[in-house]
Amino acid sequence: MKKYIAIFVVCGLVHALFSLYWGFGGVVGLKSVGQWAITLNANYGIWVNLALVVVAIFKAFVTLLPLTLLDHYHKVVYFISFVMAIFLILYGGLNTIIGWLKVLGIIENFNFYTTFGQAFVWDPLFLLWGIGLFIYLLKIKKLK
């Protein structure tokens, strides 16, 4: 079970830490999210930064929340985590496929950096986060 914990915790915290980094004004990797993120940051500055810090805190919280199930099984936490795992698998999986279709030239590619981020970085991380969480939750259910 430890490897599944490692998968979803690492993937979720990588997402959270990058959001936090961007929230504090960092720009490395921002092109891989999309030009819209750079434009939004340029137009609204501190408000976007504040929103990204909130997003980072939320991502970290929802990543670590399922770990409480190791000590005490709680139906609400399990249900919320399960719904989130399904969402992450669907969202990450669909967007990873779309990213690969762009890489293969089947769908028009407007921006190399965004396509790279979609196909190889952010959306596969969402997918792995969801898969790791899903398997972890199935194993927790068997233990309880």
The reply to whether the predicted model has a pTM over 0.85 is: yes
- DSSP track, 46-76: HHHHHHHHHHHHHHHHHHHGGGGGGTS--HH
- The answer to whether the beta carbons of residues 88 and 127 sit under 8 Å apart is yes
Which parts of the chain have pLDDT scores under 50? none
Contact by Cβ (8 Å): 129, 11: yes
Residues written for the chain: 144
Task: Give the C-alpha separation, 133 to 48, whole Å.
Answer: 29
pLDDT digits (tens, 9 = 90+) for 87-117: 999 999 999 999 999 999 999 988 999 999 9
Q: Find where tokens 């028009």 sit.
A: 108
102 and 114 Cβ atoms separated by less than 8 Å: no
Of 97, 83, 95, nearest to 123 (Cα)?
Answer: 95
| Per-residue confidence (pLDDT) for residue 78, from 0 to 100 | 97
